[in-house]
Structure 1
Amino acid sequence: MVEAMIKSKAAALTVAERCRSILGANSQAHLNTIKVDSKGSKSEIHTSKVHYIFKRGKPYIWVHEGDLHNTNIIIDERGSFSVSNVVPGPLTGLLKSIRKLPACAALAGRRVSNRARSLWTMLEAPELRWAFIRKIYTILTVQLLMTVAVASVVVSVRPISHFFASTNAGLGLWIFLIILPFILLFPLHYYYQKHPVNLILLGLFTVTISFAVGLSCAFTSAKVILEAAILTAVVVLGLTLYTFWAAKRGHDFSFLGPFLFSAVMVMLVFSLIQVFFPLGKISVMIYGGLGAIVFSGYIVYDTDNLIKRYSYDEYVWASVALYLDIVNLFLSLLTLLRAANN
């Protein structure tokens, strides 16, 4: 820590400051610095999840022992300190509802000195966040183009779909391709910060999902596929623009998380019922419509997380989340339109 290291934590904080620090414990803080070489050129971004407390009305950063930032805790104009609520407590939500607590801590403009060390506490630099957002959408665009390419091959080359649909080996391979993305999530979680292993795993994950999309389209008319693709593009673009507009005006969509997760659980149970007890065309249309609504909500939720909560080293997870939202929205609309067309 910076200045409070001189005194014990208990002696340094007043009761009011302890209350504010308890409220701060409901938030997640990220300290970001950019390494520079002797020429001053930018290198990689180092991100730490840190805590912060208040002393005499000023915020102080508490860096974990052994963290890289302990050895060189200097933030210049290329660095930032951002705070966002992850799981807001009931008291935090109440105070925010009556506008007694800001949406995030405004830590800006005060320099805190401790002899040889200096530290700036500031809001996250907009340039860093926008660079991160551009990176995510670049990766997402590549994923979607890869999906279109793989799915097009599966649809246009008829022996591929015939192999999967009419042979036992094809059925076994299809089941393996359905399970493989879930298997790839484990190494992806372990290596998500290790470049380029994380991108290689992300590519494999995308290809396996693309095969599933291609097989879904292989037995669907071109008209239905085109309608689902156009609707998906319009919905994704509209919801993305809306979320950026709403976030700029201070709206928060983190409350959607529990509701969307519950809706996905309902969909999973519904799909299992459909496997063993088919309920007919109307139930399939209901399932597709419910899926389209749920994954539209997830696009808003994950875009809001991208804007406010994802740290710079979580670009793989942010890309996976948005990619799955878009793919599942497309497949839900495809299910709905295919059932209606039949």
Structure 2
Amino acid sequence: MSLDASKWAWEVRIPVKKGGALKPLKKLVLLSLADRACEQHCAYPSMTRLVEDTEMDRKTVLKIIDELIEDGLIIDTGERKGKTRQVKVYQLVGVNGRETVPTMAPLKAENTDLKSTNSGTVPTMEQYQQFHERVPTIPSKSPNVGTRNLSKNLSIESKYKKDWLCFKKLREEMFLADDSIDFEFVTKSRWAEREKRAFEIYNAGKNLCDDLMNYYFADWLIQAYRTKYANHQETGHTKRAGQNTEINSLSEKQIFTFASKLAHHPEFSGKFGEPGESYEKLAARIAIKLENPNTAKKWEPYLKQVGFTGNLRGAA
């Protein structure tokens, strides 16, 4: 955290732009960046962190960041951080000063009256002012520098793994999408690692957090299994496709899961979403519609694209 950057963000005047975001919202995003800045006044919080800090939807935050760049308050350094090297590093423009550490200045002339172990040094003005208020400092080369840019509430596995892949999250996503597929069989297959490399190449350059990577990889594996590898499985590992029976309507858990996935489906959200609508609001509207068997049957092609198996009869 940079005190100079936070002070600068509070004092800087936000330009007014016709048709742009509200000044208080731009100020809030700028303060969030400053709060995550290091001593060089660079910040690289994930998009998930900025959305959580500001309580605004992702599209609004991305729009405001573009406006802050146009205003000349921040710049994209071109550097990328994070495990996947996809988190953008922003430089705050116009911050004056650097955080300094109290130092000891040598005496210019020897004083024979000083017999203590501190003889030969005097505190600088900054150290004198902080004499009664000791503040712990972190060396600039410490591994703890920049830890405020890490995602919050990481699981133990996520803290120590060197990859974005989290088997616990992947298992949950695959179970919610299709509980008939044997997770252990899929992940231990030789083709799973091959599909993982293909998935990483496909998503290279996209600003996706670890949770979204696991979310989309679950769909990727399920789709790959059905289209390329299902016929090569050993008997008894999963339910055969012919055993999928027709159902009248989706369960409550399926409605919640597929509503969220359809809200992130580019074609579906572009067709049924409203301008400026957040993913959460769109998912809530979709969930209400999916409770109707006729609507669910109408959207069945989209449901199959996001992991639904089986067939819907629709209302009689």
> TM-score by structure 2 length?
0.31
Structure with the higher fraction of residues in strand conformation: 1
Structure with the higher fraction of residues in helix conformation: 1
> TM-score by structure 1 length?
0.29
Larger radius of gyration: 2
